[in-house]
């Protein structure tokens, strides 16, 4: 009998961010849902806005939808950690794309409309 051991996890894709302190990322999940991370740095303060999963172009709330926001002093390690957590969290990202901030903000669901459609 042969048994496998010493399992290794291997990353198969990379995301190259031009300016990690000012970016927006769309992550596509295996279920074809989208998650978003927006990072914005102004005067030494970095803000992180995460939301999802969302269904593209549909005014519906997906089970598990959440929004989080936090602001910290600018720190490259903190930014790298947030991006890494976003790409490899409980909703695994199959494809990640850097997009314009305005496009990411436009994907934020209208919560009032979505809640009325429950």
**Average predicted confidence (pLDDT) for the chain:** 90
pLDDT tens digits for 58-81? 878 888 899 999 999 999 999 999
The CA angle 66-71-76, to the nearest 5 degrees, is 110
Residue 40 has pLDDT above 80, yes or no: yes
Report pLDDT for 11: 79
pLDDT tens digits for 75-92? 999 999 999 999 987 667
Nearest to 86 by CA among 30, 28, 41, 43: 28
Q: Give 75's contacts (C-beta < 8 A, 6+ positions apart).
A: 46
Give me 45's structure tokens.
């303060």
Cα dihedral across residues 69, 72, 74, 78: positive or negative: negative
Query: Helix, strand or coil for residue 49?
Result: strand
Report pLDDT for 111: 87
Report pLDDT for 91: 67
How many whole angstroms separate alpha carbon 81 and alpha carbon 15?
14
Report pLDDT for 103: 97
Residue spans of the domains in the chain: they are 23-116
Report pLDDT for 21: 97
């Amino acid at each position: 009998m042969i048994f496998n051991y010493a399992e290794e996890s291997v990353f198969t894709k990379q995301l190259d961010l031009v300016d990690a302190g000012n970016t927006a990322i769309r992550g596509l999940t295996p279920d074809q849902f989208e998650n978003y991370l927006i990072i914005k740095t102004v005067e030494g303060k970095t803000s992180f806005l995460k939301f999802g999963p969302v269904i593209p172009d549909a005014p519906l709330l997906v089970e598990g939808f959440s929004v989080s926001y936090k602001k910290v002093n600018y720190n490259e390690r903190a930014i790298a950690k947030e991006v890494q957590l976003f790409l490899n969290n409980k909703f695994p990202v199959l494809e990640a794309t850097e997009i314009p901030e305005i496009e990411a903000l436009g994907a934020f669901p209208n919560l009032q409309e979505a809640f009325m459609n429950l």
